[in-house]
Amino acid sequence: MDAGTMVLQLMLSGLTVGAIYALVAVGFVLIYNVTGVLNFAQGEFAAVGALTGAWLSMRGLPLWVCVVLAVLVAAAVAAGVERAVVHPARQSRPMTVIMLTIGAGMALRGAALLVFGTDPLAMPMFTEGEPISIGGATILWQTVWALVLCLLFFAALVFFFEKTYTGKAVRANVMNRFAARLYGIRPTTLSFWVFVVGGAVSGLAGVVVAPITGATYDMGLMLSMKGFVAAVIGGLNNAAAAVVGAVLLGVVESLATGLLSSGYGDVISFALLLAMLLVRPSGLWSRAEGKRV
Amino acid sequence: MAVRVKTRRYIGMIAVSVAALALLAWGASPYWLSVLNVIGLYTVVAVGLSLLMGYAGQVSLGHAGFYGMGAYVAAVLSTRLGWNGWLTLPAAVLLTMAVAWVVGRPAVRLREHYLAMATLGLGMVFHIVMVEWEAVTGGSSGIVGIPALAVGPWTVEGERAWLILTWGAAAMALAMAYSLVTSPIGRALRAIAGSEAAAEALGIPASRYKLAVFVLSAGFAGLAGALYAFYVTFVSPSSFGVMMSIQFVMMVVVGGGHRLWGAPAGAATLVLLGEGVKAYLPALLPGAGGEVQLVFYGLLLIAILLLKPDGVLTGWATWRRKRSGEHARAA
């Protein structure tokens, strides 16, 4: 494989990883903007989705059923976290809420360990078949699935925000929480539903990535971290920018891993986070720069 | 006035603690002495972290990284470069503080969660570097054969001798923290934790103070880590993972970040809890690995933060203050 093909290959796999990060990042951004909570358990929802999907597929259920159930279970778990942990603490200081979501994440990780064990669970690819070849580089069908499902989900999200009443309520709440309340939009109800959607989107990320990486109980923390880095690159308050940030992160990370050293991909993504915090803390595409207090 | 009364009370508490420690050091078995030593080391970390969490209103999820960095700096300098052990201690502290400054400077100016995430990432990166940079860190098997600390012809060996070092460091950390929080800087920090905007309006450079506290707490963690390296004579990456960082946070949460005595109390609780789990969990849940602690710790953290956000162990102090009708004037 010559250098050009290799770079193409790396960029394609970076795109796949980026799509997964994008799903987690969108969950982050949604929950953060509606509730003000930076949810450290976000990646755990993905782990729940991945583990549930893989476990069900090993029981011989049709694959599409597994995927749908995995997304639903992740959404239900997220809803449970919102009611049990975030809702009672809605008046607490941000630091307390951060630690609460960490506690919830730990409890989820431990519960996943108790239920599914330490061994990675395998999940079959969504479709069998030879990998596709593009200019010498190959992509798995699963990659295509990941991209298509991501695009479908984002289309659904755009529809939700632009066309549905609830979506408009969420946007109103993001623009001005106080004014939204005056119009009869209940922030606590929105908080619940945004956790459901955020959990579902993360669960989808998990179940899509499971056939590629396998599903393990401790995959969540890293996904949380990557989702956050992607969201910071995008600016934390713009879901579309977070998607672009996630793809960027995936590609950079994949190139760094392939061309430099396999162990240091995560170091690169963290260096990106630090650089962003130093140079453009409000995101790559922000127009106004300044302190966010 | 209040401070003077409090100082007198603290002196009493110190006398009692020193007496209790001496009694324990004299009577305890080697196992319990090692538990005491570990509590002493963790107290150093927890004191720094409680300054950060209780006084500057920020949380670090990467203190195990600083702790590990201190340990590795001490290990590398003393084994590979042949430094005198005592000289590696300031080197470890200064290096961790420098790293904390670089990472903290951009992060503290933003909202709380930026520092939380940045430190979480930093802890992960430290861990990766420890595993991957084999030439220096020895990879996942770590570094063995760290020489003992020596004072002239005497070497610091055995659990009893170590008690002096670990608890000496803990006492030093507590004393530094005490003088910090009773100084004008301490009042400024409390103002920042109360309302950053109001504090800045009064001319307190909030982000500079927060950064200073963060760097100081990293230095404490670095010192504890360096001592740990000499204490156990080997280091490996597995001791410095994310779980350890969260345990440090839990020590402060259990002890209550607003009171300095919460740090040793929280450290003791977590260490004893860990030992208890290690001893009794196999009997209760056969076949369950140590990681099952996660569920337990997670639920404990949630329960404390929801029900007793000021810490469990200092509840009696609040109760006493309420009884005497004095208003919340936390020290």
Return the pLDDT at A196: 92
List the beta bridge partners of residue B154. B151
> If you measure CA to CA, which chain B residue comes closest to A236?
B114
C-beta atoms of B106 and A281 within 8 A: yes
Distinct helix (H) and strand (E) counts, chain A: 11, 2
Q: Are B214 and B116 in contact (CB under 8 A)?
A: no
Q: Give pLDDT, residue A9.
A: 84
Which parts of chain A sit beneath pLDDT 50? 288-293
Asked if the Cβ–Cβ distance from B302 to A95 is below 8 Å, we say: no
- pLDDT of amino acid B217: 93
Residue A286, domain member (yes or no): no
State the pLDDT at residue B325.
52
Q: What tens digit of pLDDT does each residue of B20-44 get?
A: 777 777 777 888 888 888 999 999 9
What interface predicted TM-score (ipTM) does this complex get? 0.79
Per-residue b/e over B159-171, b at no fewer than 16 CB within 10 Å? beebbebbbebbb
Q: What is the pLDDT of residue B322?
A: 59
Residue B1 has pLDDT above 50, yes or no: no
Contact (Cβ atoms closer than 8 angstroms) between residue B41 and residue B171 = no
- Taking CA–CA distances from A107, the nearest residue in chain B reads B295
Domain assignment of residue A79, yes or no: yes
> According to the model, what pLDDT value does residue A289 have?
42
Domains identified in chain A, total number: 1
Average pLDDT over residues B267-273: 85
pLDDT grade for B324, boundaries at 50, 70 and 90: low
Q: What is the mean pLDDT of residues B121-149?
A: 82
What confidence score (pLDDT) does residue A286 get? Answer: 62
CATH fold, domain B2-317, is ABC transporter involved in vitamin B12 uptake, BtuC (1.10.3470)
Residue in B110, B125, B301 closest to A99 by CB: B301
| Alpha-carbon gap, residue B205 to B185, rounded angstroms | 11
The greatest distance separating any two alpha carbons of chain A, rounded to the nearest whole angstrom, comes to 62
CATH number of the domain residue A99 falls in: 1.10.3470
Q: Is the pLDDT of residue B329 over 60?
A: no
Q: How confident is the model at residue B285 (pLDDT cuts 50, 70, 90)?
A: low
Tell which residue, B234, B237, B248, has the closest CA to residue B69: B237
CA distance A44 to A203: 9
pLDDT, position B291: 66
- Find how far residue A23's CA is from the centre of its chain: 4
Give the three-state DSSP class for B62.
coil
Would you call B295 and A274 a contact, using CB atoms and an 8 Å cutoff?
no
Spatial neighbors of B95 by CB under 8 A, at least 6 apart, are B69, B70, B73, B222
- Mean of pLDDT over chain B: 80
**Within a domain: residue A284?**
no
Residue A131 DSSP symbol: P
Residue A183 covered by a domain? yes
Looking at the complex, report in whole angstroms how far the Cα of residue A122 sits from the nearest Cα belonging to chain B.
22
Instruction: Return the residue in A28, A269, A270, A292 with the most chain B beta carbons within 10 A, the one to mutate for interface testing.
Output: A270
Residue B165: pLDDT band (50, 70, 90) is confident
Q: Is the pLDDT of residue B130 over 80?
A: yes
Which DSSP state fits A30?
H
B319 in contact with A, Cβ within 8 Å: no
By the 8 A CB rule, do B145 and B234 touch?
yes
Domain containing A246 equals 3-279
Residue A288 in domain: no
Interface residue of A38, A216, A277 to substitute, partner B, most B CBs within 10 Å: A277
* B331 pLDDT higher than 70: no
Residue A151 lies in a domain: yes
Strands (DSSP E) contained in chain B are 150-151, 154-155
Question: Quick one: pLDDT band at residue B317, thresholds 50, 70, 90?
Answer: low
| A132: enclosing H helix or E strand | strand A132-134
pLDDT in the model for residue B313: 60
From the candidates A106, A261, A274, A286, which should be mutated to test the interface with B, based on the most B CB atoms within 10 A? A106
